[in-house]
Structure 1
Amino acid sequence: MPRSKNWSVLAGFAAGLTVMTALSGSAFADTTTLTFLVPSGEENVARAQSLAKAFEAANPDIKVDIDTRPGGAEGDNLIKTRLATGEMSDIFQYNSGSLFQAINPQQNLVDLSGEPWQADVQDIFKKVVTAPDGTQRGAPIGTGMGGGIYYNKKIYSDLGLSIPKTWAEFMANNAKIKAAGKVAVIQTFKDTWTSQLFVLGDFYNVNAAEPDFATKFTGNQAKFATSPAALKGFEHQAEVFKDGYLNEDFGAATYDDGLRKLATGEGAHYPMLTFATGAIKTTYPEHLGDVGFFAMPGDDATKNGLTVWMPDGLYIAGSSEHADAAKKFVAFVASPAGCEAQTAALGVTGPYMVKGCALPTDVPPAVADLLPYFGENGAASPALEFVSPVKGPSLEQITVEVGSGIRPPADGAALYDEDVKKQAQQLGLPGW
């Protein structure tokens, strides 16, 4: 080959490489990378990965990088530090309700009030991601939960029991269950956090009796010890102990023990949050169909309803340099396609807070029992911690004492009022 032709070919090849490099560089430059911070834990990571994969398939010009953070107080502090220093991820998953208010949403989060998808978000969720200025700053991620009572369907069927809507009906059922030689109410005080449901899960009934309780409680104008409606949760916990309805090992039993007793029919009732359906499905799949759920019974059957724990919020940091792309991702999560991606990763343990998100037809009975409370004609209200920033850190120790007969319910309620006082003063709330 002549030398001049060699140089011509090489020059052409080099030019081609230059064009290809320019084109690939241009394509790379057009790709936006979003950072997405989620709590550590298998469930949260699996959900995030499924959402990112589905979103990227529909939006090839946007990449989502997932990072994790610890839970509890350490995670709370990390969130607050990153927001304060402007180093927060573009998008992050965090609590709704009182902890949402504690991160100064007006200053730190992008306003999402005007986004079209907000029309499909249920109002019950919007309330718990609304900043003090009335703007919505978050979208729902995950499903809602109920706080109430799991029950063993076989025991109910064998004894001919009906779902109770009043406390008197519930206690009558307990008497029949005990007479049949079964544990009526499972308690698992080794894991102290599980002791709080009779109090926290009763807030729908408190709110029905005293609609302004949360506002007055936040302003130091209402107390658990002096509110007849709020005191009943402590009284009910003491009553099931006093009447001998608990498992003998209630002080040493763990949450896992409680699920086993419930699923296998050793016990009939277990007060708990409905996220436990997922654990039952994993650990006792053969008994998943034997477990149902109902709301905490109150005084009036016509006013029976569910205390609801809202899902986490999905937020965009005000410091994000990719707010437009981040809004696309949040819009995807708050859509039926986003719900499908979450269901594909985890199944469902409750309802989504987005209209149009269909659930599988073969949901577990406990989930099917939960859904009507969220329906158009259902009755549900957020737990107190979602409508008030005041929650004392020692409630779980106090409810263990009340539920074990160590402390009278009135004294437990008064002690909790002192506990929340310390928390409210730390938050700098007026009136405390």
Structure 2
Amino acid sequence: MRMTARTILAASLASLLASAAHADVTLSILADTNPETVVFLDVLTKAYSEKRPDISFDIENRAGGAEGDNIVKTRLATGEMADIFQYNAGSLFQALKPENTLADLSGLSNAGNISENFKPVVSAADGSVRGVPFGPAMGGGIFYNRKIYAELGLEVPKTWADFIANSEKVKAAGKVGIAQTYGDTWTSQLFVLADYYNVNAAAPSFAKDFTENKAKFATTPAAAKGFERLEQAGKAGLFNADFGAAKFDDGMRMVATGEAAHYPMLTFGIGNVAQNYPDNLGDLGFFAQPGDDAAKNGLTVWMPSALYSPSSAEHGEEAKKFLDWVASKEACELMAKAVPSGPYLIKDCQLPADVPQAVKDMLPYFEAEGGTSPALEFLSPVKGPALEQITVEVGSGIRPASEAAALYDQDVEKQAKQLGLPNW
């Protein structure tokens, strides 16, 4: 009887120890509410839980834009950040002081899969990688309605003047020339930010000089043009009547269904149409924001956001294991199949053959030598937080472009000093 009791006790202890070793863990994730983000997290977490039944996920959504930036910074500062969070790469990432706040992911087994073009925009000052790419690279440019273009006999513009002329023709035909959606203030920035390919073509040293406080938006004609173009489009009355209240979802609906001919936006908007207006996906086209010279036509590119884990994560080791898997070809192709809206930045990750028309429109820019330029925020750590409020004022006719450019120069000065950049 004693031997039997000991055997039962030993077996029970072994079972308890095994259970403890494989205790269920719930990883918390904080992410924005963009439709692509929701889809990506859904496919990734479901697939990972199938591989690891002991892991479940608790996903919390946050606001976008400046409000979302404040939420992320506050959570990190107070030690209340989720085990994993999704956030921008580039200048906004640098503002998080990643060497102090984020886990080092350089040692992940799949770290070598991450594109060399992406690593610098999620690397701390010491060169260590702190994030893994989450989604495809994006183009910043102009969605257009292909049906409207066909009906009015319009051609994809290679110059800004041709773009405005097309928009005027659309307005004359009784439709909205350019959709604007200042109910989501961040969307107001596109005419300024997507113009960077044109800035770089005219002033190749601008990013370096801007970072070193040797060049300003207000005093660099090529850089000031983004504000001027936004002002011109607003003054011409090319926007939808409700542009002050309309939101991102409205803009994508308008351009996809033919209420508007154009909507300046990042190409992640393709996912919004695929989810909400799949029957109109083939009517959605895309082109780069044109500049003054048709011979120098190219695309401003945004790196995808990334997934990070804070140094203070409750389940830090399990969070790293999940992020390691996200950096695999398998996980990447799950995302690419779910949202084939652009090139992914994981080695050997393939897009499906049947990509939407707007993606087909974007890929030639990536394939042409010199056809793309990273957005300024990936070439300089300096980006002022008030740009979206300033561009709302310009597009609304409240503030002239020249004054707005000077105001933005003041805005970036605060951030450059906070980052401790030399010469500021």
Give yes or no for TM over 0.5. yes
Identify if the C-alpha distance between structure 1 residues 350 and 403 changes in structure 2 by more than 3 Å, giving closer, same or farther: same
305-314 or 422-431, which deviates more = 422-431
**2:209 is matched with which residue: 199, 210, 216?**
216
Map 1:96-245 onto structure 2 (within 5 A). Answer: 96-113=89-106, 115=108, 117-245=110-238
1:414 maps to what in 2? 406
> What is the match of residue 282 of structure 1?
275
Moved more, 158-167 or 111-120: 111-120
Q: What is the CA distance between 1:36 and its match in structure 2?
A: 4.6
**Which of residues 240, 251, 263 in structure 1 aligns to 2:256?**
263
Work out the CA distance in 1 between the residues paired with 2:97 and 2:59. Answer: 22
> Within the alignment, does 1:393 sit opposite 2:385 as a pair?
yes
Judged with a 3 Å threshold, the aligned counterparts in structure 2 of structure 1 residues 338 and 262 are, in CA distance, closer, same or farther, namely: same
Deviations 1:335-394 (A, max 9, x none): 2211234356x5343332112222233332223323343448573333222333332233
Question: Aligned equivalents of 1:68 and 1:252: distance in 2?
Answer: 26
Contact 2:134 2:307 in 1 (8 A): yes
Q: Tell me the TM-score normalized by structure 2.
A: 0.85
Counterpart-to-counterpart distance in 1, 2:332 and 2:228: 40
Contact 1:124/1:382 (<8 A) preserved? no
CA distance in structure 1 between the partners assigned to 2:389 and 2:311 by the alignment: 38
SS in 2 for 1:146: strand
Cα RMSD over matched residues? 3.1
- For the residue of structure 1 that corresponds to 2:232, the secondary structure is helix
Larger deviation, residues 227-236 vs 189-198: 189-198
Secondary structure at the aligned position of 2:117 is classed as helix
Q: In structure 2, give the amino acid aligned to 1:236.
A: R
**Structure 1: distance between partners of 2:418 and 2:377:** 16
| Structure 2 residues without counterparts, runs of 5 or longer | none
In structure 1, the residue corresponding to 2:142 is in which secondary structure? strand
8 Å Cα contact 1:34/1:326 also seen in 2:
no
- SS of the residue aligned with 1:123? coil
Residue 23 of structure 1, CA deviation? 3.6
Q: Contact 1:34–1:90 at 8 Å: present in 2 too?
A: no
Q: Distance in 2 between matches of 1:108 and 1:75?
A: 11
**Cα distance between partner residues in 2 of 1:120 and 1:378:** 24
SS at match of 2:177: strand
Counterpart position of 2:322? 329
The structure that has the greater radius of gyration is 1
> In 2 relative to 1, CA 220–70 (structure 1 residues): closer, same or farther, beyond 3 Å?
same
**Contact preservation (8 Å) 1:48, 1:66:** no
SS in 2 for 1:99: helix
Which 4+ stretches in 1 moved above 6 angstroms? 320-324
| Contact 2:336–2:344 (8 Å) recurs in 1 | no
| 1:21 alignment counterpart | 12
| Residues 378 and 327 of structure 1, relative CA distance in 2, 3 Å threshold | farther
- The aligned counterpart of 2:22 is 31
C-alpha distance 421-36 of structure 1, shift in aligned 2 (>3 A): same
2:88 equivalent to 1:95: yes
Q: Structure 1 residues 376, 243: closer, same or farther in 2, change over 3 A? A: closer
Displacement of 1:198 after TM fit?
Answer: 0.6
Instruction: Give the letter for the 2:423 counterpart.
Output: G
Shift of 1:150: 0.6
SS at match of 1:307: strand
In structure 2, which of residues 348, 352, 363 is the aligned counterpart of residue 360 of structure 1?
A: 352
Q: Deviations over 1:159-186 (max 9, x none)?
A: 2322222223323323433443433222
Please tell me whether the aligned partners of residues 76 and 101 of structure 2 are also in contact (alpha carbons under 8 angstroms).
no
How many Å apart are 1:225 and its aligned residue? 0.8
**Count of aligned residue pairs for this structure pair:** 417
Residue 402 in 1 paired to residue 399 in 2?
A: no
Aligned equivalents of 2:401 and 2:159: distance in 1? 20
Structure 1 residue identity aligned to 2:77: K
